[in-house]
Each structure stands twice: as structure tokens, then as C-alpha cells.
Amino acid sequence: MDARLRRVNKEITDCKNDKTSQIKIELVDESPFHLKGSFPGPEGTPYEGGKFEVDIVIPESYPFQPVKMKFITKLYHPNVSSASGAICLDILKDAWSPVLTLKSTLISLQSLLCSPEPNDPQDAEVAKHYMTSKQSFEETAAYWTHIYAGGPPPKGSGGAANDEVAIAGLDKAQVDRFEALGFQRSKVVDVLRRLNYRGANIAKISDDVVVEKLLMA
């Protein structure tokens, strides 16, 4: 048995024996080098109540080379791509150390959900939302947790499923206003999302600019 396989098997066993962290690791297709990790969303965050799954690929030179991780579960966070699940975290790149383990790395991901770093984003649009209106960002993140991670319905959502306006973190009244001008709803949502038409930014973006973008879309 090579050193990489011994190390990975030990880490999987250690994780199974740890009943307190709630970090879980399981094999994908019986391969010890392709794994799926999971952890609960941290309490007191918009991710609370959700279960977040992570795809893990062990490189050939592990532990001297960082593991490759990306989120399987969709989530709304400045440091995670809302499209691909790619993660911006230093220990997955140049700050990796062989003393880190699969469990400690997953715990770091869990901590990232508590402390977003919008100035070093993976998803620039989400980072802009976070910096423009943190309350609106948290409402959107909680909605994503509900529909994608099995979290509880956010307060005031009425439990509605897959509302494209809520998913984009936009004000329904503003979307309705531009839709009433004759533009397709999905096009309005896309343009307002890209313009970061939220919170204090709304006053900075004239209706003429929005209409021009809608006509070009």
C-alpha cells in the first residue's frame, strides 16, 4: 500500500470516528482518491440548517500537493462560484501544508461560510451584492440554503420554491416595474442582477441605463 493510500484511509477512518465535528467523508464509486465531504451550515449564518456537500479529488502527490475541492451543493457566497462551485481559499492553493487533513480543510470551508472575504472573491457579482447590501445578501443566501441545501424557509418567504427574483437577490417591486414596460421577466432579472441593482445602488443607476441594457440584451 503506497503512502498516499495509507494517509487517505487513515484520514477517512479518523473522520468516521469523530462524532463531534459533524464532518463526513465518503467514497465516490469506491475510489479512495475521489471522495465526497459534507458538513452542516454554521449556526448564526444564512447557511444554518443546510447540508453542504463538497467534491474532493486527491492528487497523486498528496499530501505535498493540495486536495482539489469544489462545492456540489449550490450556495450564495462571495468566495464560491454560484455556477461551478469553485472555491477561493488560500489553503487550497499556495497556503496548503502537508500537515492539513481532509477534515481540517472541510472545517476551514465551514469557517469560510461564517466569514466571507468579498475583497478576494470567486464570484464577483455575489461579492458586489454583499458589499452593497449585507442584509439583502443574507436573505438571498438563506433562500439558496433553503432551495439547494435543504435548509428552513427564510422568514417572510412563504416557502415559495425557485423564485427567480429571490434567487437573484433582487427587489420584486423593481423587477415588476421594468417588466410592466414590456420586457420579459427573465431578461429583467438577468440585467438587474448584472447591474447589481440592489440597496443603495438603485439610486445610482438611472432607469434610462436599465432600459438601454434591456434593449441590448
- Note the pLDDT of residue 154: 78
- Note the pLDDT of residue 159: 46
Known catalytic membership, residue 88: yes
CB 25 within 8 A of CB 42: no
Residues 6+ apart with CB under 8 A from 56: 25, 34, 35, 36, 37, 67, 68, 69, 102
Provide the whole-model pTM: 0.86
The CA angle 52-57-62, to the nearest 5 degrees, is 125
- Radius of gyration, CA atoms only, the chain: 20
Mean pLDDT by 10 residues, the chain (217 residues): 90 92 92 95 97 97 96 98 96 95 97 95 95 93 95 69 82 93 94 92 94 92
Beta pairing class for 24-28 and 68-71? unpaired
Domains and their CATH numbers in the chain: 3-114 (3.10.110.10), 159-216 (no CATH)
The CB density around residue 149, as the number of other CB atoms within 10 Å, is 19
- Note the pLDDT of residue 78: 98
The CB density around residue 198, as the number of other CB atoms within 10 Å, is 22
35, 88, 92, 109: the catalytic one is 88
- Note the pLDDT of residue 153: 87
